[in-house]
Amino acid sequence: MPIVLALFETLFDIVRLRKGPDAIPHSTVLLVIIVALWLLAGLVMMLLTAELDEKDFVVGTITGVAGLLCYTAVVVLSGKSARLMQAVMALLGCSALLSLMFVAGNVFLAPFLSERITNFVVTLILLWTVPVEGHIISRTIDRHWYLGVAVAMAVFVFQLVLYSIIDPAMNTPS
């Protein structure tokens, strides 16, 4: 259990931009644990968010993997392949942590705040993924933080476009 707590502490430090992916040990077992955590966080998000269903989980997983492939290409093309596993673990682990924070925000803020304020707060949590992913990529490829954020913004837009192609219902107003 102390290992899991240490992992969460490290991921939380990365989310706060205090550490980079190099803080995560290079371990295949840890990669499997983090992938499982990422999938579990997606399931929890789907189950506890009224607007989401199984299709959203599947499409979200597909767009998540597509984004991960984009980041993989950036890391490999930058000649930093040796750092790829740690970058993937940081990206997936921080994504899982932010997804769980999104769910916690919805569950714990909704009873006390208006729907509008709650939605604003949880949207900020989800948007925080862009600077976090940019930070992870910039530290992985040894480039300035702004370049990492620009890459993360491009991947974010790509994922939104891909999501709207896979699920055209997202484009139609309710």
Instruction: Give residue 130's identity as a one-letter amino acid code.
Output: V
Q: How far apart are CA 155 and CA 82, in angstroms?
A: 22
Question: Tokens 């769910």 sit at which residue?
Answer: 103
Q: How far apart are CA 86 and CA 92, in angstroms?
A: 10
Q: How far apart are CA 32 and CA 133, in angstroms?
A: 20
Coil, helix or strand for 1? coil
Instruction: List the pLDDT tens digit at each of the 174 positions of the chain.
Output: 788 899 999 999 999 999 999 999 999 999 999 999 999 999 999 998 878 889 999 999 999 999 999 999 999 999 999 999 999 999 999 999 999 999 999 888 888 888 899 999 999 999 999 999 999 999 999 999 999 999 999 999 999 999 999 988 765 555
Predicted local confidence at residue 52, as pLDDT: 84
Domain ranges, residue 60: 2-171
Predicted local confidence at residue 170, as pLDDT: 64
Predicted local confidence at residue 2, as pLDDT: 81
In the chain, how many domains are there?
A: 1
